[in-house]
Amino acid sequence: MTIDNDDLLNSVMASLGRIDTISLSDMPNIDLYMDQLTTFMDERLKKTTRYPDTDKILTKTMINNYAKNNLLPPPVRKKYSKDHLILLIFIYYYKSILSINDIQTLIEPLKERFHISDDEFNLSKIYETTYELQNEELEPVMEDLKKKYARSLETYEDADISEEERKRMQMFSFITLLSYDVYVKKLLIEKILDNVVLDEKESSSKKDKAKDKKNKNKE
């Protein structure tokens, strides 16, 4: 079977333009029970999975685990608010590349804005800004894909192999370029988060020392 790399790329590019995202206005304005919450997430994000017919977006077990790992505040009278939903959407995207510990570090400032409705800098505002950034990034991402794909087609042009093998190896080159890009960005994220943790520990240590010194002076 001949591998048509051009058709595959065009299909991927088209699917990127159809990725389901959840805007703030799409979110329910009422609190949801767990079953309603999982159904909403499943219906809106199912197409973002590799195997839509079998992959689970969100389950009761996942929600309970997030709560146990201090990623998600507990529900109020068994109901989950829009702020819960926002955090769960962030967690859904982050968990594909980050560890639970890294996600904890990343969303800690967001949890501090939880259920703050009388402040313009609340979770809804943060989500709105993130949503705008995501939409702005789509076109540059697609252009970068085209650039990497064009570069991959320059590989193995003179190799003594069949046309089908050449296309297969050029696809290998394309995937390698994409993988390296993911690897570098993931490494960068991890380094940044490690520095965040280190800075927070140093800041906490200084505060503790200052507090101890103040208490000793009182004695």
pLDDT tens for 150-163 read 999 999 999 999 99
Token duo for residue 27: 């979110």
Give residue 183's pLDDT.
97
Residue 100: phi and psi, rounded to 5, are: -60, -45
Listed residue (38, 69, 74, 73) closest to 56, CA to CA: 38
Look up residue 76 and give its DSSP letter: B
Say how many C-beta atoms besides its own lie within 10 A of residue 35's C-beta.
Answer: 9
Is it the case that residue 189 has pLDDT exceeding 90? Answer: yes
| pTM of the shown model | 0.85
Contacts of 3 (CB under 8 A, 6+ apart): 164, 167, 168, 171
Give residue 15's pLDDT.
76
Q: Give how far Cα 124 sits from Cα of 25, 33, 112, 131, Å.
A: 10, 20, 13, 10
Token duo for residue 8: 């595959």
Rounded to whole angstroms, the Cα distance separating 177 from 4 reads 19
Instruction: Report the half-sphere exposure of 118 (CA within 13 A, side-chain side).
Output: 0
Listed residue (129, 133, 120, 141) closest to 86, CA to CA: 129
Per residue in 16-65, pLDDT (tens digit) is: 777 778 999 999 999 999 999 999 999 999 888 888 888 889 999 999 99
Is it the case that residue 219 has pLDDT exceeding 80? Answer: no
Contacts of 75 (CB under 8 A, 6+ apart): 34, 84
Query: Mean pLDDT across the chain, nearest whole number?
Result: 88
- Mean local confidence (pLDDT), 190-217: 79
Token duo for residue 25: 């206005």
Rounded to whole angstroms, the Cα distance separating 188 from 179 reads 14
Residue with tokens 């973002």: 48
Residue type, 26: D
Asked if 178 and 148 touch (Cβ cutoff 8 Å), the reply is yes
pLDDT-based confidence at 1, cuts 50/70/90? very low
- Mean local confidence (pLDDT), 169-197: 96
Q: Out of 36-50, 107-121, 159-173, pick the least confident.
A: 107-121
pLDDT-based confidence at 215, cuts 50/70/90? low
β partners of residue 113:
none
Give residue 198's pLDDT.
92
pLDDT-based confidence at 201, cuts 50/70/90? confident
Per residue in 58-104, pLDDT (tens digit) is: 999 999 999 999 899 999 999 999 999 999 999 999 999 999 999 99
Contacts of 119 (CB under 8 A, 6+ apart): 113
Domain ranges of the chain: 5-218
